[in-house]
Amino acid sequence: MCFSTPSAFDSLITGKLSVAQPLIAKIKLVDALQPANGSEFDYCAALVRKNADGTGAIVYGSTTTSILKTLLVEAAKKQAEAEKATEDNSKLAQEARESIPRSRCLLPLSMVRSSWFPRKRGADSAT
């Protein structure tokens, strides 16, 4: 993903990513995970190791601008792909609804009469 202007990149950070659903809601930011003073981002990168018991542990943190920009661009790509897939699915669903001829639409259950269907033998044997 290429950003035509710095403001496009900034709007990504201050817009969608700043309000995105977090993978882990809250963690304590130790010194190694604090964004650098004077950094253009309020982000840091974390290297997470998978432990043998299935948990994870942050083993390294970085505020290097090039690493952050790479991660931010990747996040933007994934978010754009997800939004496009959702949009495409919505369009397909709408096209499917529009392509069904009205004469083939099903009746609502409230309009179906029980007299239209024969009763099974023995269904009223309790009466």
Q: Which residue has the higher pLDDT, 14 or 41?
A: 41
Contact, 97 vs 106, CB < 8 A? no
Q: Which residue has the higher pLDDT, 14 or 83?
A: 83
| Cα angle 51-71-26, degrees, rounded to a multiple of 5 | 55
pLDDT digits (tens, 9 = 90+) for 71-88: 888 887 887 788 788 887
Cα–Cα dist 20/50, whole Å? 24
pLDDT for 24? 87
pLDDT digits (tens, 9 = 90+) for 33-80: 888 787 777 888 999 999 999 999 999 999 888 898 888 888 878 877
> 109 pLDDT band (50/70/90 cuts)?
low
Q: Which residue has the higher pLDDT, 76 or 12?
A: 76
